Amino acid sequence: MPAFRIPETNSGKPLILKGLILVLILGFAIWRSHYGTRLDSYANDEPFHVVAGTYYSATGDYRLNPEHPPLSKLWVGYWNKPHLKLRPLEVLNDKEHERHWLQEIMYLENDAVLSQRQSRRAMYMFHFILGLCLAGLLWRLLGYRWALISLLWIALEPNLGAHQPLVLTDLPLSFCLAITALTAGKFATSWNWKWAVGCGLAAGAALAVKHSALPAIGGMGMLLTGFALYPLFRKRWALAGYRFAGLLCAGLMSLFVLWASYGFRTHSSAGGEDRFNRSLELKIADLNKPVWRNLVGLMDQSGLFPKAYLWGFADTLRAGMEGRGDDEHKFFGEVVLGRAPYLYFPSVLLVKIPLALLAVSLLGLGLLLWWRYQYRSGANPLSREQWIIVLFILVYIGFHLLALASGRTSYGGIRHVMPVALGLGLLAGATGHFRVARFHRYSIGIPLTLLLLGFAMTLGEKRIYEYYNEIVGGTENSYKYFADEGQYLGQRFYEIRDFFEGVNLDSTERIYSWSWLMREEVKASGLEMERSAVADIHDSSNKEGLMKGYFIFEMWLYDPWPNWDPARIQSLTPVKRLGNINLAYGELKDPENWAYSMRDQVMRYLAENQEPDWELVRNRMEEVTAIVQYNSTEYTILGNAYLRMGQRKKAIEAYRKSSENLAEDDPYQRLLNKQIETLQNGTDLESIETLRPAMLE
């Protein structure tokens, strides 16, 4: 069977016109993104990143927000530095204190709306530059039609578009990993030094954007090493040495970019000091699994990584890989406790990407499999070099998915699996070489028609961040099937504010938020909103949880959970639905809300007091656990109180209850079992440390 290679000719279509089309597609992607996000307020993590990045650019100090590497935050910081007023730096106590300190700067001391506009412009420009690099590489390495289809897919995919203006690290990571795969594939076939440098720059940028770049970078690094080793089997020592020299160049270049993003500082602050909200040593000790502690410790001893990068890596392992203890995951309507289902993130892709775009990606993947089956006959449009590049794309997708499947959490939803989503866009590009007999000149019309259909299916979505496809009944009904951050991350605040500005409340009515709203944003708006049923740890009134007024609920609260019955809020009258937020009015009696509010006040009290009143803590947590008996965190805190009160047996009992409420394979079980064993051995209570609750990162 003869080959059917499609030649890349330029006759009739000058290069400049082809390039202009790709640039216009990138511009269209920005317009589509702006149209679908123009009503959004800040996502809940954005002010945290924006202010921290401005400190990086203004002071060169990297102590703030170290859980993410600095590259995209630093870029946004330079855009905000001229107008964002900053406080003098100070030593903060744990992540929650740091978050509120940074949000106070944004909302109470600056113009947050101006900052959001600047940040959106910065991220659009950042992603446009990365998109240009990706488009040029696709065109150069896989052909113009491949680049055309892939770029259209990326421009039309609503989740990628929703993240274009957001000061989050997931979309920059996706672009950087894709660029790394393309440059690494070309490097593996040419072993040209310029591609070694390009691969190193791209990999370094990925590392400098987000810690979760490591699995995919590691996978592509192993594949490159395999190609470098191949000449040894033929005893071509010089060739192998040359390839390893190129690999070393790429590795050093990636480390150079990473260190450059930290201003070539080993320590986060001047004078060789690290002034994080929690020390690096404690951050490493917080890891429950010895393998992770040893890994981060070894990386620290190597001296190859800045301290702030290692702090963030430890934080990522703690929150993402080990989980937060009382984890619940809604998976196609079923609630799973403990570890997230292994297929959770592939399922998120299945329900979040428009079906027509999924069809293009599956068609592209099917074509690649068919062409590979016919490879020996030469009946495929790809060269050996292009097959190797495709292999690197598949490796980065696969290793990222494996890393997600090996973790315990699901809270990030689509944004944590976004590199794979963009990878599906790269695979969709193969349909540019699709050929139907007798109609091969018009075969590209099939993927183009599907892309147009995908655009039509999502054009009516005014808030593309919340988009879900028809598999789960569309965006409106998606809360019945999934409940991660892919549904909502706080962007409806402007509409919530506008609604309550038109409501007259009497003296007996309040606004109660059961949704994640930034309290500084609420305060700056002038709204009087109750985030808690408890004023502080000393407030033992209203244990019945009586509330009257307006309530802000996320829609998943209208569906049953293992320890939640939506009948508890059926007495309230729905007033207005805003996407995945529902506003209701009425009178409610909910003791569990009082218990959770008191638990949060106790944790805040412990974070702010070096020498707490443990008897007060014990009394409050006994009241809390009398109501909420199914979590781990509450009993861990109660066990700590008994420990400090010298009540050994009660401490053991509380820690055991905490253990019983966790999944058997939860890494936190090791700490609880060790604590119980230490107490049972009669060790002096004063010498035993209290436990950090599993829910704290």
Q: What angle do CA 146, 147, 148 make, to 5 degrees?
A: 90
Using alpha carbons, select from 122, 125, 150, 124 the residue that is nearest to residue 137.
Answer: 150
Reported as a single tens digit per residue, the pLDDT across 80-94 is 999 999 999 998 988
Return d(Cα 663, Cα 649) in angstroms, integer: 23
Report residue 438's pLDDT band, with 50, 70 and 90 as the boundaries: low
Return d(Cα 464, Cα 475) in angstroms, integer: 9
Tokens of 449: 């028609």
Inform me whether the pLDDT recorded for 437 exceeds 60: no
pLDDT of residue 528: 87
Q: What angle do CA 422, 427, 428 make, to 5 degrees?
A: 90
Beta bridge partners of 273: 269
Reported as a single tens digit per residue, the pLDDT across 236-264 is 999 999 999 999 999 999 999 999 999 99
pLDDT of residue 441: 65
Question: Computed over its alpha carbons, how large is the radius of gyration of the chain?
Answer: 27
Domain ranges of the chain: 15-440, 493-593, 609-687
What lies within 8 Å, CB to CB, of 35 at 6+ separation is none
Tokens of 534: 């408890």
Return d(Cα 511, Cα 530) in angstroms, integer: 6
Return d(Cα 628, Cα 116) in angstroms, integer: 39
Return d(Cα 489, Cα 377) in angstroms, integer: 51
Q: In 10 A of CB 610, how many CB atoms?
A: 7
pLDDT of residue 440: 61
Q: Name the one residue in this structure whose structure tokens are 């964002």.
A: 84
Percent share of the chain, pLDDT over 70: 97
pLDDT of residue 470: 95
CB 211 within 8 A of CB 69: yes
Inform me whether the pLDDT recorded for 671 exceeds 60: yes
Return d(Cα 190, Cα 179) in angstroms, integer: 17
pLDDT of residue 2: 37
pLDDT of residue 9: 47
**Region 268-292: what's the mean pLDDT?**
92
- Residue 614 CA to chain centroid, in angstroms? 36
Tokens of 330: 């809604």
**Region 334-358: what's the mean pLDDT?**
95
Return d(Cα 126, Cα 124) in angstroms, integer: 5
DSSP string covering 359-410, please? HHHHHHHHHHHHHHHTGGGT-SS--HHHHHHHHHHHHHHHHHHHHHHHSS--
Could you give the C-alpha distances from 398 to 169, 177, 211, 242, 345, in angstroms and in order?
Answer: 20, 12, 17, 29, 12
Report residue 695's pLDDT band, with 50, 70 and 90 as the boundaries: confident
Return d(Cα 161, Cα 466) in angstroms, integer: 11
Percent share of the chain, pLDDT over 90: 79
CB 177 within 8 A of CB 233: no
SS3 529: strand
DSSP letter at 52 equals H
Tokens of 631: 């979590």
Query: What are the b/e assignments for 670-691, b being 16+ CB within 10 Å?
Result: ebbeebbeebeeeeebeebebb
SS3 73: helix
Torsion of CA 484, 397, 133, 7, to 10 degrees: -130
CB 218 within 8 A of CB 399: yes
Inform me whether the pLDDT recorded for 312 exceeds 90: yes
**Region 418-435: what's the mean pLDDT?**
93
What lies within 8 Å, CB to CB, of 569 at 6+ separation is 551, 553, 557, 558, 584, 588
Residue 157 corresponds to which amino acid? E
Tokens of 110: 């600056």
Inform me whether the pLDDT recorded for 11 exceeds 50: no
Using alpha carbons, select from 693, 690, 640, 630 the residue that is nearest to residue 662.
Answer: 630
Q: In the Cβ-directed half-sphere of 567, how many Cα atoms lie within 13 Å?
A: 2
CB 605 within 8 A of CB 634: no
Burial of 197 (0-12, 13-18, 19+ CB in 10 A): middle
**Region 501-516: what's the mean pLDDT?**
86
Q: In 10 A of CB 95, how many CB atoms?
A: 20
pLDDT of residue 245: 95
In this structure, are strands 573-578 and 581-589 parallel, antiparallel, or unpaired? Answer: antiparallel
User: H or E segment at 328?
Assistant: strand 328-331
Using alpha carbons, select from 669, 612, 607 the residue that is nearest to residue 643.
Answer: 612
Could you give the C-alpha distances from 131 to 69, 126, 174, 278, in angstroms and in order?
Answer: 21, 9, 11, 37
Reported as a single tens digit per residue, the pLDDT across 567-597 is 999 999 999 999 999 999 999 989 998 999 9
Q: Name the one residue in this structure whose structure tokens are 């609503």.
A: 158
User: H or E segment at 284?
Assistant: helix 280-285
What lies within 8 Å, CB to CB, of 357 at 6+ separation is 153, 156, 157, 424, 428, 450, 451, 454
Return d(Cα 12, Cα 99) in angstroms, integer: 57
CB 683 within 8 A of CB 628: no
CB 169 within 8 A of CB 60: no
Reported as a single tens digit per residue, the pLDDT across 124-148 is 999 999 999 999 999 999 999 999 9
**Mean pLDDT over each residue of the chain, to the nearest integer:** 92
Correct CATH for 609-687 of 1.20.59.20, 2.60.40.10, 1.25.40.10, 1.10.287.110: 1.25.40.10
Residue 326 corresponds to which amino acid? D
Q: In 10 A of CB 20, how many CB atoms?
A: 11
Reported as a single tens digit per residue, the pLDDT across 622-655 is 999 999 999 999 999 999 999 999 999 999 999 9
**Region 370-389: what's the mean pLDDT?**
85
Reported as a single tens digit per residue, the pLDDT across 64-80 is 999 999 999 999 999 99
pTM of the model: 0.94
**Distance, first Cα to last Cα, the chain:** 59
Report residue 436's pLDDT band, with 50, 70 and 90 as the boundaries: low
Least confident of 94-108, 239-253, 431-445: 431-445
Report residue 3's pLDDT band, with 50, 70 and 90 as the boundaries: very low
Using alpha carbons, select from 356, 370, 320, 314 the residue that is nearest to residue 340.
Answer: 320
Return d(Cα 368, Cα 499) in angstroms, integer: 51
Least confident of 111-115, 230-234, 298-302, 616-620: 230-234
